[in-house]
Amino acid sequence: MPPLSNLATRDIETLVHPYTNLATFRDVGPLLIGIASGYDITTGVTSAYPHIGNYLWSYLGLADPATLGTNSFVPQVLTCPAQMKIKSALVPDGEQINFASRNALRFLPGTRTIDNATRPFGYPDNTIPPVAGAPFKPMRLSWLAAVTNNFSGTFALRDADQQLDGTNNPPWWHSWISRSAVHGSDIRNAAFFDWHVESVKGTNGLSNLHR
């Protein structure tokens, strides 16, 4: 297994540890699948496109979104340096998708329809394309045991790239992320629901559910 030595791995690990406490004790979503790198006062829980920074800023010692107004703040801990390096100038820094969250844990029995009750981070409404019934509240970490006992093998957050996430548009961000593993050599950083972080070779176990 590759060593966990690159900056992006340390950043995603720093990101998920405060999130562990949040997911255990309180609602922390809804979140989109694509995790944008910036946040401001307009990207909170009441937004159609809430950003993870609005939930984590106090745990990471970052700026209060109430003090930012509409000036997007892009902290390094919420970015993948390799993804930001290849970012198009057409995409604002704060909107660049750096990571992908787990969209759901299973399909409804006997179907290829996502079981919305198993969306770990919930899901907002008013998205393009829309998801019927949204918004969905995030699961508490303690509820996951009712769905899976394989916390160490179920990814929560990982690097985003077209090989895993696809190229369909919408959502818009599929067109603006790395074509393949952004760190090269088919290596992707991922955080799992036991909150360990590792560099994974290949795509096995890292795909989101698709209808």
Q: Is residue 211 a part of any domain in this protein?
A: no
Q: Is residue 71 a part of any domain in this protein?
A: yes
Q: Rounded CA gap, 207 and 72, in Å?
A: 30
Q: Is residue 88 a part of any domain in this protein?
A: yes
Spatial CA neighbour of 37 closest among 15, 58, 59: 15
pTM as predicted: 0.87
Q: Is residue 42 a part of any domain in this protein?
A: yes
Q: Is residue 186 a part of any domain in this protein?
A: yes
Q: Is residue 35 a part of any domain in this protein?
A: yes
pLDDT in tens, 89-139: 999 999 999 999 999 999 999 999 999 999 988 999 888 778 889 999 888
Look at residue 200 and give its three-state secondary structure.
strand
pLDDT in tens, 37-79: 999 999 998 888 899 999 888 888 899 999 999 999 999 888 8
Look at residue 100 and give its three-state secondary structure.
strand
Q: Is the pLDDT of residue 32 over 80?
A: yes
Q: Rounded CA gap, 113 and 107, in Å?
A: 5
Q: Is residue 106 a part of any domain in this protein?
A: yes
Q: Is the pLDDT of residue 10 over 60?
A: no
What is the per-residue pLDDT for 175? 95
Spatial CA neighbour of 97 closest among 146, 147, 34, 144: 34
Spatial CA neighbour of 96 closest among 82, 110, 107, 106: 82
What domain range includes position 100? 7-201
Q: Rounded CA gap, 20 and 194, in Å?
A: 9
CB distance 122 to 134 below 8 Å: no
CB distance 97 to 35 below 8 Å: yes
Instruction: Pull the structure tokens for residue 43.
Output: 């990207």
Cα torsion 58, 62, 55, 67 to 10°: value is 100
| Structural domains counted in the chain | 1
Q: Is residue 207 a part of any domain in this protein?
A: no
